[in-house]
Amino acid sequence: MDVLSHLTDGFASAFSPMHLLLAFAGCTLGSLVGVLPGLGPATTVALLLPLTYVFDPVGALVLFAGIYYGGMYGGSTTAILLNVPGETASVPTTLEGHPMARSGRAGAALATAAIGSFVAGTISTVAITFIGPAMSRVAESIQPAEYFAVMVLAFATVTAVVADAPARGLCSLFLGLAIGLVGIDSLTGQVRYAFGVPELYDGVQVVAVAVGLFAIGEGLYTAARMRRAPEEQMLPVGGRIGMSREDWGRSWKPWLRGTAIGLPIGALPAGGAEIPTFLSYNLERRLSQHKKQFGKGAIEGVAGPEAANNAAFSGVLMPLLTLGIPTSATASVLLIAFQMYDVQPGPQLFQTQSALVWTLIASLYIGNVMLLVLNLPMIPLWVRLLKLPRPLLTAGIIVFATLGVYALSQNAVDLAIAVAFGVLGFLMRRTGYPVAPLILGAVLGPMTETQFRRALAFSEGDWTVFLTRPVSAGILCLALASLAGPMAVRLLRRRRSVPSI
């Protein structure tokens, strides 16, 4: 077996003391930062990006695999204990997990989230191991027109999922694409949108955009609300972290169902983690024998969505590694980490960077185990971090955010860009514009344009090429449907005057 021998090599490399240490450090740092209120996985990964300047590519990606999982895991802890979802995908967890914590069952909620994440993460990693190489072979034969269509689909689904009003999501997406245009055009050497600033010739640093939007924006948001908004009360973990026999009985099916929902949706180049978590939540509510408990702390409502979330998170790595297409904000930031090392994920990655990919996949297995074995008992310790004074925590976030941006190229222009995007992120958040499409557009924009122009070059300038090729046309129709679908549903609902949820 080709896959197994590659995987063995990967494990051999991942089990080196240095890489084990990095995986552990990643999980720990990820959960530590992710547990801070308001810091979702995307922000966590963005904040910790400066760490990539320090290690070799393989070591850095092993570290980031840990941060990726740890950040999400820390996020579910905050959702349960503080009722603050770090990102949209954690909303279902707050719906059931927080009531559980309020009735003294925080330990069970944290345990089912952690074990469910482990189960889902491991199953999904097995899927990546065996399907990933096959998918990358398929990806190799994709033509530019289809490539462009797939990216449009990714844009459409991320835009449609986050906002109910597509106009707002599209504003965010197109602004992101515009940011990706800045700098020297890679095909002709033409400078675009640099406005005479030499620092912009290489383009806007996406790290500065991500850190600004997520971390500095969060700081401004905290500052705005600190006096008038009620501070969230943190609940104690009360009792040991673990599950009773009944909890196990009620959890294992939702874990598997959550995985079955999250993995395929995440693995499609159109997924994200929001849809599967909400789908899983609704499914569990429908199937549960304890329907009355829902909204008051039903364990199924934590187990299913958390598993779905983690499965989707792992599934997202599939299009990221094989196509180079991120389908969530967090995956976009992860792609930035790859690009900092001139590692371009895509169809060739499994061949050109075989050692790197397989070490990364092996560390996903290891990271999952580490999170379960090492972090579950340490949750009370992370929670104590939340007792630090909030002003100091936020000041610390600001210091690390600015450090990460400055260390990037040691000039103040990047820092100014980050501050500007901090203000933008703050305004967008207050007015209901989603930021995920913006960061996705900024990261993926240049590649989209390249494929777009290649497709038109092949067709000798014929713009109908995207619609006359059946596969490309089909994917574009899907993209249109995913944007227009939710709108149509809303219109229908309004006409029938059924109250929307």
Partner 1 sequence: MSTPQAIQQPWGPRVAALLFLAAGVVVLGWAFAIPERATDQDVGPRAFPLLVGMGLCVSATFSTVQAFRGADREQTEQAREEARLTDWGPVAALLGLLVGYLFALTPCGYWQSTAVLFTLVARVLGSRKPLRDAAVGLVLALAVYILFDRLLGIHLPPGIIRLAF
Binding site for partner 1 (CB under 8 A): 53-54, 164-168, 170-171, 173-175, 177-178, 181, 185, 187-188, 190, 192-193, 216, 219-220, 222-229, 389-392, 394-396, 398-399, 402-403, 406-407, 410, 412, 415-416, 419, 422-424, 426-428, 430-433, 445, 448-449, 452-453, 456-457, 460-461
Closer residue to partner 1 (CB): 248 or 452: 452
CB of residue 281 vs partner 1: minimum separation in angstroms?
A: 20
3-class DSSP string for 189-232: CCEECCCCCHHHCCCCCHHHHHHHHHHHHHHHHHHHHCCCCCCC
CB of residue 77 vs partner 1: minimum separation in angstroms?
A: 23
Closer residue to partner 1 (CB): 184 or 369: 184
**Phi/psi of residue 230, nearest 5 degrees:** -65, 135
Q: How many residues does the chain have?
A: 501
CB of residue 164 vs partner 1: minimum separation in angstroms?
A: 6
Cβ 216 vs Cβ 401: under 8 Å: yes
CB of residue 311 vs partner 1: minimum separation in angstroms?
A: 30
Closest CA to 52 of 332, 333, 438, 368: 333
Closer residue to partner 1 (CB): 395 or 491: 395
The per-residue b/e assignment along 24-43, b for 16 or more CB within 10 angstroms, e otherwise, is bbbbbbbbbbbbbbbbbbbb
- Terminal-to-terminal C-alpha distance of the chain: 50
Closest CA to 277 of 98, 94, 440, 110: 94
Name the residue with tokens 């941006």.
405
Closer residue to partner 1 (CB): 223 or 467: 223
CA distances from 140 to 63, 134, 291, 323, 346 (A): 28, 10, 47, 9, 8
3-class DSSP string for 35-46: CCCCCCHHHHHH
CB of residue 488 vs partner 1: minimum separation in angstroms?
A: 17
Closest CA to 116 of 362, 360, 300: 300
Taking the C-alpha atoms of residue 175 and residue 158, their distance in angstroms, rounded to an integer, is: 14
Closer residue to partner 1 (CB): 225 or 240: 225
CB of residue 466 vs partner 1: minimum separation in angstroms?
A: 12
Element (H or E) spanning 372, and its range?
A: none
**Phi/psi of residue 295, nearest 5 degrees:** 95, -15
Closer residue to partner 1 (CB): 2 or 460: 460
CB of residue 441 vs partner 1: minimum separation in angstroms?
A: 9
CB of residue 231 vs partner 1: minimum separation in angstroms?
A: 10
Closer residue to partner 1 (CB): 253 or 453: 453
The first and second tokens of residue 287, run together, are: 């199937």
CB of residue 76 vs partner 1: minimum separation in angstroms?
A: 24
Closer residue to partner 1 (CB): 291 or 430: 430
CB of residue 35 vs partner 1: minimum separation in angstroms?
A: 19
Amino acid 434 reads: P
How many Å separate Cα 182 from the centre of its chain? 25
β partners of residue 191: 184
Closer residue to partner 1 (CB): 44 or 159: 159
Closest CA to 315 of 86, 158, 150, 126: 126
Closer residue to partner 1 (CB): 107 or 219: 219
Contacts of 289 (CB under 8 A, 6+ apart): none
